[in-house]
Structure 1
Amino acid sequence: MTQKSSVRVRFAPSPTGMLHIGGARTAIYNWAFARKSGGSFVLRIEDTDPTRSTEENTQIILRAMRWLGLDWDEGPEVGGKCGPYFQTQRSETYLAALEKLKEAKAVYPCFCTKEELDAKRAKAEAEEGGYAGYDGTCRHLSLEDAQARIDAGEPHVWRLAVPKDRGPIEFDDAVYGHMSFPSDVIDDMIIQRTDGTFTYNFAVVCDDTNMEISHVIRGDDHLPNTPKQILIYEALGKEIPVFAHLPMILGEDGKKLSKRHGATNVEEYRDRGYLPDAMVNYLALLGWSLDGETTVIPRDTLCSSFSLERINKKHSIFDEKKLDWMNGVYIREMDASSWVLAAAPWLAQAKIDGNNVAAGITIAPTPTKEEQLSALKITRVPGCDVDAQIWQQALRDVSDNADFYENLYPLVAERLVRFDEIPAKLAYMFWKANVCLDQKSVDKVLLKEGARADEALSICRGVLEGLSGDWNEDDAMQACRSLGDAAGIKPKQLLQPLRVAVAGNMVSPPLFESIKLLDMNDVLARIDGVCAKVFG
């Protein structure tokens, strides 16, 4: 057997659903290993499940891979020397491999019916302490008898004849170390079914062989398949690749990651406003580390430093709070123009939400904690409950008035962890003269006994009305404070009412920086309207 001259790895998802977090991490590790080694990253679609594999799911996977920035060297839409890259298009290669095994007498036809096998299983479980696998009934048929039954059209499968004197199946896993499996517990597995289709273990070995895959990096749920696949490699006379099995990603409760833990597929995280670089960084750290300390790792560093040796054997815990923190770090490291480009859909949604506020001054109930958490998971992407024409107009406004939107970045950069928070944080910037007051803020700030909120708003309004030209935010705030001190009103009592009158809430981005970006006539109209609504 010839030694493979270069690193070739593959990511082989099944298009039976979306690209989930565990699959994304596997793809990242394969991609990073290929980039580190100067090798090739192959994308192969294992679409042999006819009831669940769909073209739509394939496109979802490809879209998620592109969003993550995991470019593949060979595969769908790219091509390559080892195509086609869909299993359903590779039947001829499986047939050729099967013929080779027939010639080597490494396989045999099995005519046992499902009913016969079920009866043997039931008998073994009832009388013999458990089912030990296929008993090899048809293995002992003469070649003549077997061929006569095939010629007569009798339904059959083809099984691999596991060598009786094989001994333990051993290999060195790049993550788990030396592994050993007894071969005598592996029965003669089916490689071609009665309907002519091929089983997973056989197809995947044929594909990896024909695509010259040097390293198989995959989840440890495939570890039980490995000794079976090694037997097929040996029967075909092919070189066995290096295996690296990745520990599972678990939820915070220590159980397998699932919907009960929240979002589980890549596009859900995209739609909630996570950055692809942050996702790649975070997922890479679920089982691998650069040095045991560094957490923010740019993808070029990941590509130059990734190694299989630093993959941890322990299962990883998916902590969304840590992902939020990391996403916030990446947001703060962006420049304003890049932020506007990446956040455009959510900025458009903020404009639409702001424009939809009813004319005049309205008071809305403060959302409950559950409602706030639910709102953060609303998908803020094009077409979200918005007329297409209105949506396109809002997106066009983000593009046409990029300077204005870039000025919004400093208002929220330090407080933002995901883009889907943008609409709630910035809708007030598009209210014009209208205000949607938060009931809790009205009660705690404007109507609190002894607050003197009406006086505070009158003082601040006078200062704002007198501003002209390129006024300075700090000077304006200090002028308000000076007048407030003279009137015996503390700074917080003075400025909180103004914040509520301008932004509708006692919690908002920086106040005077916001006012500087707004039309002053609209700001004054908001103050007047709030005073009339709340104080009569």
Structure 2
Amino acid sequence: MIRTRFAPSPTGFLHIGGVRTALFSWAFARKQGGTFVLRIEDTDLERSTPESVKAIMDGMHWVGLDYDEGPFYQTQRFDRYKEVIQQLLASGHAYLCYCSKEELETLRAEQEARGEKPRYDRRWRPEDGKTLPQPPADVQPVVRFKTPLTGSVVWEDAVKGRIEINNEELDDLIIARPDGSPTYNFCVVVDDWDMNITHVIRGDDHVNNTPRQINILLALGAPLPVYGHLPMILNEDGQKMSKRRDAVSVVDYAAKGILPEALLNYLARLGWGHGDEEFFSMEQFVEWFSLEAVSPSASRFNNEKFLWLNAQHIKAADNARLGELIAERLAAANVDTRHGPALADVIGLVKERVQELNALAREVDYFYAKRSPQAEDVEKHLGADSLARMQRFADLLAALDSWSAESIHGLFKPFCADEGIKMGQLGMPLRVLVCGTTQTPSVDAVLALIGKEEVLRRIRN
């Protein structure tokens, strides 16, 4: 049974890189009929916060990535970690290290002065024929894992191919702090083992952690999962995405008017592809997805392409659902939609003109209250002759028995012929008088939705 997991640390918002990791792990499990597990890796007690946990949960809910098990919290599993640490100590795969912080800082300074790579010198590591110093009474020990001194860690990465790292490059990493609390790399190993995770799909910033985790799994006699490390997402300048420069939080994209399915669709295309397909549903993505099709190279985030894709999803979305999504934006702008055309009908008319939901809310507002027109539009389109002409056209509108886009459209050609004007000389003043803007969809459809009484009131006011 395939089992994948998404295991974010609650030390900030849910990053889009994390969302893509969750997406690929979720899709792989769904494609294989497996299980997708959510785990909260909150062992960093100083930085982990309840607010960050909530941000992760809210973000997962917003993008719609449903998990089958969890959320599991590492802080609730400390007894299990301590049990496994004792197991490693008893088997000789871990040992107590009594180095003080000052000793380690001195060691590091000496190594850097000699031009060496700073690393722990294994002075407390038990070896045959080695006499260890007497443990100092004033130092609480850490527990270190006894990394093999020779050989290599080799794995066939599902994304990057064969990776080999020499054990000589690895330190004897700390698996328990002086207060007994376990460290990240150790907790991950125990969790993946206990939760029967078969495929660890995560960002390639974890590649250096993998040999350490494999060594611990081997020491425990635990099965090794398949590892697949996803390439980094870069911004448009080719730099690592940053909180200061880029919108990287899921919350940022929600506020910017992005549909969750558009974000997932775009993230799926960063580092993965299915022919030339750009616009697709998550059901199609699951059907097509494979780890073999994931590129090992970093991908650039193209905002123009992203907005185009969001526009395609807005066009395809149900109008009633879009109405629910922009209702809060309209309320914040003091737009009262209780009186006027059905919001879903308005959205159906204007949604092809926008790329995000905030723009959609702005396209909707004049259907419920006329905007104050720009001075240049008034000057250009509402001179005395034009205003008099608009009153004559209002009389024709008032005489209509049937109020529809078709009946309104039927007035345009004969009226322009009688007045000796072109359609623009009717349509533009009409838009400015009724809507307060020159940028609208087909004016007959706009007038039909706003309604006869309101249109006449706005023209004659």
Q: Normalising by the residue count of structure 1, what TM-score does the alignment of the two structures yield?
A: 0.81
Helix, strand or coil: the match of 1:441? helix
- What's 1:15 paired with? 10
Q: Is the 8 A contact 2:400 2:407 kept in 1?
A: no
Q: Is the 8 A contact 1:496 1:506 kept in 2?
A: yes
Cα RMSD over matched residues? Answer: 2.4
- What's 1:273 paired with? 257
Counterpart mapping for 1:420-431 below 5 A: 420-431=358-369
Residues of 1 paired with 2:26 and 2:39: CA distance? Answer: 13
Residues of 1 paired with 2:247 and 2:29: CA distance? Answer: 28
Displacement of 1:147 after TM fit?
10
Q: Is the 8 A contact 1:111 1:155 kept in 2?
A: yes
Residues of 1 paired with 2:316 and 2:171: CA distance? Answer: 56
Residues 143, 422 of structure 1: CA spacing in aligned structure 2 closer, same or farther, 3 A cutoff? farther
Residue in structure 1 matching 2:144, options 159, 169, 175: 159
Match status 1:231 vs 2:215? yes
- What's 1:253 paired with? 237
1:134-156 Cα shifts (integer Å, max 9, x gaps): 11111147899869738x56421
Q: Is the 8 A contact 2:326 2:361 kept in 1?
A: no
Q: How many residues align?
A: 461
Counterpart mapping for 1:408-419 below 5 A: 408-419=346-357
- What's 2:404 paired with? 472
Displacement of 1:479 after TM fit?
1.7
- What's 1:58 paired with? 53
Residues 293, 337 of structure 1: CA spacing in aligned structure 2 closer, same or farther, 3 A cutoff? same
Residues 435, 276 of structure 1: CA spacing in aligned structure 2 closer, same or farther, 3 A cutoff? closer
- What's 1:405 paired with? 343
- Which consecutive unaligned segments of at least 5 residues does structure 2 have? none
Residues of 1 paired with 2:295 and 2:188: CA distance? Answer: 26
- What's 2:277 paired with? 294
Displacement of 1:506 after TM fit?
0.8
Residues 317, 443 of structure 1: CA spacing in aligned structure 2 closer, same or farther, 3 A cutoff? farther
Residue in structure 2 matching 1:314, options 287, 297, 301: 297
1:61-99 Cα shifts (integer Å, max 9, x gaps): 1111111111111003xxxxxxxx101111111111111
Residues of 2 paired with 1:140 and 1:454: CA distance? Answer: 96
Match status 1:90 vs 2:77? yes
Residues of 1 paired with 2:123 and 2:228: CA distance? Answer: 36
Displacement of 1:25 after TM fit?
0.5
Q: Normalising by the residue count of structure 2, what TM-score does the alignment of the two structures yield?
A: 0.93
Residues of 1 paired with 2:246 and 2:186: CA distance? Answer: 35
Residue in structure 2 matching 1:129, options 115, 119, 123: 115
Residue in structure 2 matching 1:178, options 147, 162, 186: 162
1:3-61 Cα shifts (integer Å, max 9, x gaps): xxx11110001111111110001010111010001111000001112222111221121
Displacement of 1:256 after TM fit?
1.0
Q: Is the 8 A contact 2:156 2:162 kept in 1?
A: yes
Residues of 2 paired with 1:143 and 1:273: CA distance? Answer: 67
Counterpart mapping for 1:2-401 below 5 A: 6-76=1-71, 85-126=72-113, 128-140=114-126, 149=135, 152=137, 154-165=139-150, 167-290=151-274, 292-349=275-332, 352-353=334-335, 355=336, 397=338
Residues of 2 paired with 1:311 and 1:276: CA distance? Answer: 22
Identity, in percent, stands at 40
- Which consecutive unaligned segments of at least 5 residues does structure 1 have? 1-5, 77-84, 356-393, 530-536
Residues 143, 168 of structure 1: CA spacing in aligned structure 2 closer, same or farther, 3 A cutoff? closer
Letter matched to residue 252 of structure 1: E
Q: Is the 8 A contact 1:34 1:40 kept in 2?
A: yes
Displacement of 1:192 after TM fit?
1.0
Residues of 2 paired with 1:459 and 1:323: CA distance? Answer: 47
Residues 186, 435 of structure 1: CA spacing in aligned structure 2 closer, same or farther, 3 A cutoff? closer
Residues of 2 paired with 1:176 and 1:42: CA distance? Answer: 23
Q: Is the 8 A contact 2:95 2:126 kept in 1?
A: no
Letter matched to residue 417 of structure 1: Q
Residue in structure 2 matching 1:487, options 414, 419, 423: 419
Helix, strand or coil: the match of 2:205? helix
Displacement of 1:259 after TM fit?
3.3
Displacement of 1:519 after TM fit?
3.8
Residues of 2 paired with 1:132 and 1:257: CA distance? Answer: 29
Letter matched to residue 107 of structure 2: K
Displacement of 1:340 after TM fit?
2.8
